[in-house]
């Protein structure tokens, strides 16, 4: 019942964000401000306090790295085959990337931190770094290649050097590996700040969700939903079972890879010639449907 209560609370906050946007109280400017607090403060704080007291060798194992890459590229390959006959290149490109590009930052890590213990959260923070470094370049490459968009992959990769999520992960892992003492008072303050990551992220996601009824393609959207929150976590379950990873790694991996399509895919689709309306619909649909599928995953692994 505790898991049900948590996920229902997530749904309430998500829909609250949508309602506040519809009423005009959470307009573009306020949403951007909340997004900045979540992205540049709350989420990095959560990542740092999850990793600063543990060495990287205990968190990033060869099996974890191999499993993440197998699941990510495996799902992308399946999506390429499933969506090969979409009616336009713009829609095909979006369908492929949204079938594997997970919302591990705004939803995955905060959800894991609110549901599981510190060990699982620390591994989930490392998963966030590895998957971000992999799925972001892959998404940009696929969208720009399929749609013929002019984009500099090198400049996008350089932007990762100033990514606050990755910088906080590197900082936390460095301190944990070296063994430098970190002030308890500062750690407590960061824990309180990190606790804001999930509600702020859900409000921002809810405020960005839009559905344009005339653009609905049930077959295409249904395939994206099935691949993202159905096939991908099942593949993760199989792969990490075969790799015989420890329970904390298994739990973090399956839940993180079972998250819905990231909101950022809508932004990338808009900038790189993808079907933006279709992208928005898929983010909305996978996010709402994931409330049920994440409950199943958490109940199974928990």
Q: What confidence score (pLDDT) does residue 47 get?
A: 80
The predicted-structure confidence for 197-214, as pLDDT tens digits, reads as follows: 778 877 877 777 666 555
For residue 156, give its domain range: 2-301
Q: What confidence score (pLDDT) does residue 211 get?
A: 61
CB-neighbour burial class of residue 87 (10 A; exposed 0-12, middle 13-18, buried 19+): exposed
Q: What mean pLDDT do residues 218-241 have?
A: 95
Q: What mean pLDDT do residues 242-264 have?
A: 93
Q: What confidence score (pLDDT) does residue 74 get?
A: 97
The predicted-structure confidence for 24-78, as pLDDT tens digits, reads as follows: 888 888 888 887 888 788 878 888 887 787 777 777 889 999 999 999 999 999 9
The predicted-structure confidence for 80-115, as pLDDT tens digits, reads as follows: 999 998 888 999 999 999 999 998 887 888 889 888
Instruction: Domain count for the chain, please give it.
Output: 1
Q: What confidence score (pLDDT) does residue 160 get?
A: 65
Q: Which two tokens stand for residue 92?
A: 């095909």
Give the closest residue to 261 by CA, choosing from 105, 150, 137: 105
Q: What confidence score (pLDDT) does residue 210 get?
A: 65
Q: Which two tokens stand for residue 14?
A: 């998500």
pLDDT band at 4 (very low <50, low <70, confident <90, very high): low
Q: What confidence score (pLDDT) does residue 6 get?
A: 66
Q: What mean pLDDT do residues 281-290 have?
A: 87
* CATH for 246: 1.20.1530
C-alpha 230/C-alpha 194 separation (Å) is: 29
Decide if pLDDT at 158 tops 80: no
C-alpha 16/C-alpha 202 separation (Å) is: 9
């Amino acid at each position: 019942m505790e898991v049900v209560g948590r996920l229902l609370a997530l749904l309430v906050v998500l829909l609250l964000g949508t309602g506040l946007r519809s009423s005009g109280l959470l307009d573009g400017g306020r949403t951007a401000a909340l997004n900045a607090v979540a992205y540049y403060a709350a989420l990095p704080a959560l990542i740092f306090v999850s990793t600063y007291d543990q060495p990287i060798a205990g968190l990033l194992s060869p099996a974890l790295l191999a499993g993440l890459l197998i699941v990510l590229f495996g799902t992308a390959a399946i999506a390429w085959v499933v969506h090969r006959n979409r009616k336009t290149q713009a829609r095909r490109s979006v369908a492929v990337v949204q079938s594997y590009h997970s919302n591990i930052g705004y939803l995955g890590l905060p959800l894991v931190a609110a549901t599981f213990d510190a060990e699982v959260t620390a591994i989930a923070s490392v998963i966030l770094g590895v998957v971000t470094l992999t799925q972001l370049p892959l998404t940009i490459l696929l969208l720009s290649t399929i749609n013929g968009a002019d984009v500099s992959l090198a400049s996008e990769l350089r932007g990762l050097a100033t990514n606050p999520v990755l910088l906080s992960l590197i900082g936390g892992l460095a301190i944990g590996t070296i063994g430098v003492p970190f002030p308890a008072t500062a750690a407590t303050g960061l824990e309180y700040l990190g606790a804001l990551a999930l509600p702020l992220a859900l409000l921002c996601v809810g405020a960005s969700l839009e559905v344009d009824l005339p653009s609905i393609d049930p077959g295409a959207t249904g395939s994206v939903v099935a691949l993202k929150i159905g096939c991908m976590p099942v593949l993760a379950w199989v792969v990490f079972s075969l790799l015989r990873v420890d329970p904390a790694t298994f739990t973090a991996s399956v839940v993180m890879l079972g998250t819905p399509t990231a909101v950022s895919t809508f932004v990338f689709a808009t900038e790189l010639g993808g079907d933006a309306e279709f992208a928005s619909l898929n983010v909305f649909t996978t996010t709402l449907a994931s409330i049920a599928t994440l409950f199943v995953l958490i109940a199974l692994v928990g």
